[in-house]
Amino acid sequence: MKAITLASNGGTENLIFTEIPTPAIKENEVLVRVKAIGINPVDAFVRTHPFALEMFLQPQPGEPVIIGWDISGVVEALGKAVTQWKPGDEVFGMVNFRGHGKAYAEYVAAPADQLALKPGNISHEEAAAATLAALTAWQALVTYGKVKTGEKVLIHRAGGGVGHYAVQIAKHFGAYVIGTGSAAKKDFILGLGADEFIDYTATQFEDIVQDADIVIDSLFGDHIFRSLDAVKEGGRLIALLVPFTDEKLIQKVRAKKVYAHTLNVSSSGEDMGRVAALLRSGEVRSHVSATYAFEDITKAHDEIETGKTIGKIVVSLP
């Protein structure tokens, strides 16, 4: 099968378009013929940072390194213990995160319980988009944030992959949503259903919001302190990048009685199924701003590395 392997850490020239054997499936896995792959900032992070291979993929010695976790495709074969799928089913999911997902390939061996049925009303591209990013939004807001009707939710990077799903999921739960982005993203973010937009290039968001029930923070550095200023006393602060290990940060969290959690998104067919239900009902939509051919994966990496994308970018296979 065709696959894209990572020769070594570095630039996009290290992504090698190659032929390798189709993966064998274990008894709890299905073989998925991949139709579309979602691209995430972590893909480029793993490509560029030597320590990230161990941190995210932990490849077996000698096996080809294949980046990527987000797939949508068609079930081709079943492991002996698999009962919930049949050949021909259209499925999508985030495969083995954290672990060696091996998504940049024509075929992926995926644990059967990490997949959900692709809604018939959306394309494989829209489904592949709604995996890691949508699961992150779900787990941040619902699993850990426990969002409720009427709560005020501040979502940073609301125009990006995670953010654009988070806005829609928070609205589904009846929250009052404030999204941040640069002015160019204003119409997009309000169009997702956000009640307010803050242009982070012009305004300090914490000057406007100090009473959020939940803040979803997805930036590095001191941004987390500012997000803490925006949460009300007793509120929830979910971080996607920063661990709550800094002593000053811990003290401030305690003083404000805030529930603070750093999320590491994890593969879950159950959560994928909950996202699928919202995609099926149309309450959540994937905004795919760019689709690249499999052979053009380096262009997708170049784009995701800008940190400026709208919604999601995906790669499409024939």
**Residues within the interface to ligand NAP (CB under 6 A):** 40-42, 132-133, 136, 156-157, 159-163, 180-182, 184-185, 200, 218-219, 240-241, 263-265, 304, 307-310
Nearer to ligand NAP, 136 or 316 (CB): 136
3-state DSSP of the chain: CEEEEECCCCCHHHEEEEECCCCCCCCCEEEEEEEEEEECHHHHHHHHCHHHHHHHHCCCCCCCCCCCCEEEEEEEEECCCCCCCCCCCEEEEECCCCCCCCCCECEEEEEHHHEEECCCCCCHHHHHHCCHHHHHHHHHHHHHCCCCCCCEEEECCCCCHHHHHHHHHHHHCCCEEEEEECHHHHHHHHHCCCCEEEECCCCCHHHHCCCEEEEEECCCCCHHHHHHHHEEEEEEEEECCCCCCCHHHHHHHHHCCCEEEECCCCCCHHHHHHHHHHHHHCCCCCCEEEEEEHHHHHHHHHHHCCCCCCCEEEEECC
Closest approach of Cβ 271 to ligand NAP, in Å? 12
CB-based closest residue to ligand NAP: 160
Rounded Cα–Cα distance for residues 273 and 285 (Å) = 15
Closest approach of Cβ 221 to ligand NAP, in Å? 10
Nearer to ligand NAP, 30 or 135 (CB): 135
Nearer to ligand NAP, 89 or 199 (CB): 199
Closest approach of Cβ 209 to ligand NAP, in Å? 13
Closest approach of Cβ 35 to ligand NAP, in Å? 21
Closest approach of Cβ 208 to ligand NAP, in Å? 13
Closest approach of Cβ 318 to ligand NAP, in Å? 26
Closest approach of Cβ 47 to ligand NAP, in Å? 13
- Other C-beta atoms closer than 10 Å to the C-beta of 173 total 17
Nearer to ligand NAP, 87 or 243 (CB): 243
Rounded Cα–Cα distance for residues 211 and 258 (Å) = 12
Nearer to ligand NAP, 78 or 132 (CB): 132
Q: Which residue has the tokens 């995210």?
A: 56
Nearer to ligand NAP, 75 or 284 (CB): 284
Closest approach of Cβ 19 to ligand NAP, in Å? 30
Nearer to ligand NAP, 23 or 161 (CB): 161
Nearer to ligand NAP, 35 or 301 (CB): 301
Rounded Cα–Cα distance for residues 128 and 286 (Å) = 9
